[in-house]
Structure 1
């Protein structure tokens, strides 16, 4: 995956997502990294790094870039959850109650992020294939 193409897609979607004031760089990550994409965020300086697996099928690149950019938009929800969990359960990451609530939230956040990704791409006229991500991992695990 060419880092320049990732950056082009970031620049295409930044104004759509009201992220124009952010400094966002592209990072192509070599295997054996297992994720399709990830994002690292420094909200106080409005900086982020969108990390994309270098051998990602090009058909799915725009979907993964938009998905990771949406995580920047939704970052405050992550921070709010963490503050709430600290307030309710303290900072013990081993607390089962805390882990349960956090897992539930993160699962729903991923679902919403994926739904918004598809909606935005559809509104922009995207007619390509969508990655099956979590469903494909479940199939792979079942067949092992």
Structure 2
């Protein structure tokens, strides 16, 4: 009976037989890459993506969705302690900037300050040499931008 179960396990192999040699090689390469991926690295990448998307949901008028931004902020707050210590500090800085921007937009902004002016104020506490760009998105921390 062990032989039929081996063959039934071969049902997966039957699906693999439908793959071209190139597809099989690509699948093996993907499996090898997955062995190398650390969950902590994926969490860090996800946190950066969430911060960037939440920023867009606050700063870009045509994409403004403060509820989505709030969810992003809460998600990052829940994940930040799982990051490596080096990344934790940078993420907390970016999160603080995002929270200030969110508070300004949710509260109607500072008197006399247009929505486009909001992204500039949170960037001031950061290291002035770190961003180097004049556009708001680079003010958010991304891996390799130290």
Whether the TM-score (by the shorter chain) exceeds 0.5 is no
> Greater helix percent: which structure?
2
- Structure number with bigger Rg: 2
